[in-house]
Amino acid sequence: MKKRLLSMVLVFAMVASLTVGCGSSGKTKSTSAEGEKTEAAAKKDGDAASGENKEGENWKIAVVVKDLSNGWFARMETGITKFAKDTGLNAYMKGPSATDAAQQVQVIQDVISQDIDALCVVPVDPAACEPVLKEARDKGIVVITHEGSTVENCDYDLEAFNNAGYGGFIMDKLAEAMGEEGVYTTMVAHLTNASQNEWADGAVACQKEKYSKLTLLEGLKRVESENNSEKAYEVAKEVLKKYSDVKGFVGTSSMDTPGIARAINELGLKDKVFVVGTGMPNECRQLIKNGSLSYITLWDPAEAGYAMCVMARMVLEGQKIEEGTNLGLDSYKSLVVDPSNPKVLMGAGWISINKDNVDEYDF
């Protein structure tokens, strides 16, 4: 019996030391002493604007994401790691191993009792996070959210872009693919979906302003994919059969774009009909490479992760975040304040992916 107990304790110790080993190897500066922190606080007004990290400003920033098993957030982690490397600050990512609001709240509850200075959250469910985020703020922790524009208990919410701007970006890419002339139409998941319709509206507005030779299909201005790639494929086929002059599609949901591309591919309309829209690199890689999908547009989670950390640091250093604030990234160099909610700031964090750079993205 004794032997068994001993062996059990040993096994436990082994597992534990393994984990500890993994932990300490990658750790940067965890030796932050209380004294240093107060020193940093004392001089934060003075040299806050400088980009270099001064001795003693050893902020600890935790980022809690929706789900660690998701490639999107693995990509986000690269941005956070880069921030930690660039600044020498202790920034790291945590999250539940399944997308569950309850589990995410548990993780947040843990990290806020671990001496962090700032917390960045990509909430699974903004409402469920409110109480624990309030608790964090009551402890004096700076709270930044991303994709959580309804959150009340935060210092700021960072959105990758404003919806109309993103629509305009899709249109720019589509116009480029179509050679700036021809008839196009737009697709959304549902006509009731707020953000996707704003993207589509933004695309149309951009076309009216910039591309006079492009025209929106009069008979069918907007079609629905019901957020289903199969349905998108069928609808695109119908449109192309009925209106042979259609040369372009704006896809908004990440299901639209690959569905439309498949229809183009199957009808042998490659290089005659073009589609640009939101899509995930791993899902669309094949279609991009065979030329049936011109560009996918999206925002890069790595940049969003980096930008959140920059924002957290600026708040910690007492800098004001306002219209035009530069987060030091190309896509977040001039933030726009949401007119309906002054806490929400939007970047221009869109990127486009075509066959030249699709292999740089793995999510």
Partner 1 sequence: MGTTNIKIKDFLNGDKNMTRLLIVFAAVFALCSLTKGSMFLSTSNFQSMGKQFPEFGLLSIGMALALFTGGIDLSIVYIATLSSVIIARLLPLMVTETATDGTAYMMVIVCFILAIAVGIICGMLNGFIISKVGIPPILATLGTQALFQGFAIVITGGSTISGFPIQLSTMVNKLVFGIPVTVIVFIICAIVVGFILARTTLGRQLRMLGTNPKATEYTGLNNVKLTMTSYMMSGILASIAGIIMIGRFNSAKADYGASYTMQAILIAVMGGIDPNGGKGNIQGVAIAIIIIQMVSSWLNMFENVSNFYRQIIWGGLLIFILIFNYVINVREKKAAMKK
Q: 182 with 199: CB under 8 angstroms?
A: no
CB of 34 to partner 1, least distance (A): 10
**By CB under 8 A, what part of segment 59-78 binds partner 1?**
62, 68-69
Residue 114 sits in the site that holds partner 1 (CB under 8 A): yes
Candidate residues 8, 42, 318, 341; the one interacting with partner 1 per rule CB under 8 A: 8
Candidate residues 38, 109, 212, 326; the one interacting with partner 1 per rule CB under 8 A: 109
Q: Pick the stretch among 25-33, 213-221, 266-274, 278-286 that binds partner 1 (CB under 8 A).
A: 25-33
**By CB under 8 A, what part of segment 125-164 binds partner 1?**
125-132
Q: How far apart are CA 125 and CA 142, in angstroms?
A: 19
Torsion of CA 304, 310, 314, 316, to 10 degrees: 100
Q: How far apart are CA 150 and CA 195, in angstroms?
A: 14
Q: Pick the stretch among 100-108, 210-218, 226-234, 306-314 that binds partner 1 (CB under 8 A).
A: 100-108
Residue 122 sits in the site that holds partner 1 (CB under 8 A): no
Cα 257 to Cα 72, 95, 253: the distances in Å are 18, 30, 7
Q: Give the angle 28-30-31 at the CA atoms, nearest 5°.
A: 125
Cα 192 to Cα 49, 122, 224: the distances in Å are 44, 24, 10
CB of 299 to partner 1, least distance (A): 24
Candidate residues 87, 89, 96, 167; the one interacting with partner 1 per rule CB under 8 A: 96
Q: Pick the stretch among 1-9, 213-221, 224-232, 242-250 that binds partner 1 (CB under 8 A).
A: 1-9
No. of H helices and E strands in the chain?
Answer: 11, 14
Residue 27 sits in the site that holds partner 1 (CB under 8 A): yes
**By CB under 8 A, what part of segment 196-255 binds partner 1?**
none
Binding map of partner 1 across residues 330-349, x = CB under 8 A, - = no contact:
--------------------
Q: Pick the stretch among 105-113, 191-199, 209-217, 284-292 that binds partner 1 (CB under 8 A).
A: 105-113
Q: How far apart are CA 351 and CA 363, in angstroms?
A: 14
Residue linked to tokens 């589609």? 275
Residue 38 sits in the site that holds partner 1 (CB under 8 A): no
Cα 2 to Cα 7, 14, 15, 294: the distances in Å are 9, 18, 20, 68
Residue 92 sits in the site that holds partner 1 (CB under 8 A): yes
Containing H/E element for 351?
strand 350-353
CB of 116 to partner 1, least distance (A): 10
Q: 127 with 102: CB under 8 angstroms?
A: no
Residue 16 sits in the site that holds partner 1 (CB under 8 A): yes
Beta-bridge partner residues of 248: 184, 274
Q: Pick the stretch among 15-23, 49-57, 264-272, 301-309 that binds partner 1 (CB under 8 A).
A: 15-23
Q: Give the angle 99-197-165 at the CA atoms, nearest 5°.
A: 90
- Closest Cα to residue 355, out of 167, 161, 172, 177? 177
CB of 101 to partner 1, least distance (A): 5
Interface with partner 1: number of residues (CB under 8 A): 50
DSSP at 314: H
Residue 191 sits in the site that holds partner 1 (CB under 8 A): no
Residue 30 sits in the site that holds partner 1 (CB under 8 A): yes
DSSP at 184: E
CB of 343 to partner 1, least distance (A): 18
Residue 106 sits in the site that holds partner 1 (CB under 8 A): yes
**Residues binding partner 1 (CB under 8 A):** 1, 4-5, 8-9, 11-13, 15-16, 19-20, 22-23, 25-27, 30, 62, 68-69, 90, 92, 94-98, 100-103, 105-107, 109-115, 125-132
